Homo-oligomer: A and B are copies of this chain.
Amino acid sequence: MADDKFQKDCKKKIMAVHDAMDVLNGKWKISIVASLCYHNKRRFSEILNDVNGISNKMLSKELKELEINKLVKRTVLDTQPVTVQYELTEYGKKLQTVIKNLTDWGAEHRKEIIGK
């Protein structure tokens, strides 16, 4: 039946979404990507300041995971003392649309809660 095919298609899509979220799990990962999305190149301490409430341990850990998943590129500049720059890879940049949508939705959502 065609229903069957439709059903299977939906499951596939839902799994795709789940896969996407697998890479973006953790309390801060999306915020980090957002920071890099809005700033292009960004240093460790700058991201630490961008993302409200994150600890250096978590930033370090989640950045590493994002790097492993090829969303983020890490560059060490040999200044004194050491400076490290992070940026989205071409692949990571494909999330920009998602981030922007989430930004809009989040801003609206905030109004919705504060409104009460």
Contact = CB atoms under 8 A, between A and B. Distances in A.
Interface of A: 10-21, 23, 25, 27-28, 30-31, 34-35, 38-39, 50-52, 70, 91, 94-95, 97-99, 101-110, 112
Contacts of A12: 107
Contacts of A94: 105, 108
B25 A27 contact: yes
Q: List 3 tightest A-B contacts by C-beta distance, closest first.
A: A20-B106, A16-B106, A17-B34
22 contacts: A10-B35, A10-B50, A12-B107, A13-B107, A14-B38, A14-B51, A16-B110, A18-B52, A18-B106, A19-B109, A20-B103, A21-B27, A21-B30, A21-B31, A23-B109, A25-B27, A70-B112, A94-B105, A94-B108, A95-B105, A98-B98, A101-B101
A18 B35 contact: no
Contacts of A70: 112
Given A51-B18, A109-B20, A13 B30 contact: no
The interface residues of chain A, by DSSP majority, are classed as helix
- In the complex, the count of this chain's copies comes to 2
